[in-house]
Amino acid sequence: MPTRLRIFAQKYILTHPMKDITIREAQQLVDSWIKQYGVRYFNELTNMVCLTEEVGELARVIARKYGEQSFKAGEPTDPAPEMADVLWVLMCLANQTGVDLTAALQQSIDKKTQRDATRHLNNPKLYQS
């Protein structure tokens, strides 16, 4: 996460204790931040590359924390900040492409529910330890 964003986040957290917010409210918060501090959104291709980078950083933490790799000295061990960075860039992409993530997530849940209503329940592999 860029230094400017980290400073904003630290100041924001100190002055605005985080309450439960909806996905839509989070998208609006990101948009407000971009308009106030970010000058403008990076273009979609740049943000897609940034998203890929952030997912890679999350993957590194997961691989070391839950996989067979070990942490290097000084490496972050908490996946939460990396997950938040992924969510941030995803919301940037959604905002700039006009995607309502609340609606998109509901559509995805509906699709998976219809498609997989019994698929996983009937999968014997999932009942093995």
What does the pLDDT look like over 4-32, one tens digit per residue? 655 666 566 556 666 889 999 999 999 99
CA dist 26 and 84 (Å) reads: 11
By CB neighbour count within 10 A (0-12 exposed, 13-18 middle, 19+ buried), where does 102 fall?
middle
Considering all CA atoms of the chain, what is the largest pairwise distance in Å, rounded to the nearest integer?
53
Whole-model pTM: value is 0.82
CA dist 1 and 38 (Å) reads: 13
CA dist 51 and 13 (Å) reads: 23
Contacts of 58 (CB under 8 A, 6+ apart): 79, 82, 83, 85, 86
- pLDDT of amino acid 49: 98
Percent of the chain surpassing pLDDT 70:
86
Residue 129 has pLDDT above 90, yes or no: no
Q: Which residue shows structure tokens 């291709």?
A: 45
At 116-127, the pLDDT tens digits run 989 999 999 999
Q: Which two tokens stand for residue 23?
A: 């996905």
Domain range 3-127, its CATH number among 1.10.287.1080, 3.40.50.2300, 1.10.10.10, 2.120.10.90? 1.10.287.1080
CA dist 51 and 90 (Å) reads: 7
DSSP 17: P
